Structure 1
Amino acid sequence: MVWVVGIGVLVGLLMIASGVGTLRTGWVLPPARRHVARPRLYGLGALLMGVSLLLQGLLCFRVLPGVPSEVRYAGGNALLLGGLFLVALSQLLPRRGAARSTRVRREAEGR
């Protein structure tokens, strides 16, 4: 059972590194690069999901002081779902300037 939590902590650390890298440089992992329209939202979402996984693992190993299990469960799920929501928004929202460029092009053509 310990190895499952350890893998969750490792994945959390990798997601935190990916989120910080995306927030600082705008670089997105190659498999997601084509789909992400807003890198900052993607980085913030990855950061929230990574923090959620890391905190849940640290609480399981009792590294952090005791927190009631209800708070741990609800807080971890809130962070995880919030991060997932931000990642989804980063892929669903249009690219910045896409709607404006279409409108400007139509006005230039005289439509």
Structure 2
Amino acid sequence: MAWVVGTGAFLGLLAIVLGTVTLRTGWIVPTARRHVTRRQLHGLGALFMGTYPLLQSLFYFRILPSVSWEVRFFGGNAFLFAGLLLIALSQMLPVRRSPDHADLSGV
């Protein structure tokens, strides 16, 4: 069972690193570049989704003090669903147009 939790911790760390890289540099994994229109939302969503398995593994290995199962369950689900919502919004919201670009329809 420990290897399953360890794998989740590794994937959580990987998601946190990718979210941090997205927030700092704007780089996104090549398979998601075509779909993402808001990079900051995508980075925050990756951070939240990576926090969920990492916290669960820290509780499992008793690195963090144990809390009730309700707190772990509802807190973890809050991080997971917030991350899913942010990633979905980063792909569904339209691209922001800066006011500096000329409106070609009025020419």
How many pairs were matched up?
106
Give the aligned partner of residue 96 of structure 1. Answer: 96
Give the equivalent residue in structure 1 for 2:104. Answer: 105
SS at match of 2:32: helix
Give the partner amino acid of 2:47. Answer: L
SS in 2 for 1:13: helix
Distance 1:7 1:33 in 2: 26
The normalised TM-score by structure 2 is: 0.93
Partners of 2:15 and 2:32 lie apart in 1 by 13
TM-score, L = length of structure 1:
0.89
Which residue of the partner structure matches residue 27 of structure 1?
27
CA RMSD of aligned residues (A): 1.7
Query: How many Å apart are 1:53 and its aligned residue?
Result: 1.2
- Compute the displacement of 1:77 (Å): 0.6
Structure number with higher helix proportion: 1
SS of the aligned residue for 1:30 comes to: coil
**Matched residues in 1 for 2:71 and 2:104: separation?**
52
Work out the percentage of aligned pairs sharing the same amino acid.
57
Displacement, 1:51?
0.9
Runs of 4+ more than 3 Å apart = none
Aligned twin of 2:12: 12
Deviation at 1:105, TM superposition (A): 3.0
Q: Deviations over 1:18-38 (max 9, x none)?
A: 000000001001110110000
Residue 62 of structure 1: how far off its partner (Å) = 1.0
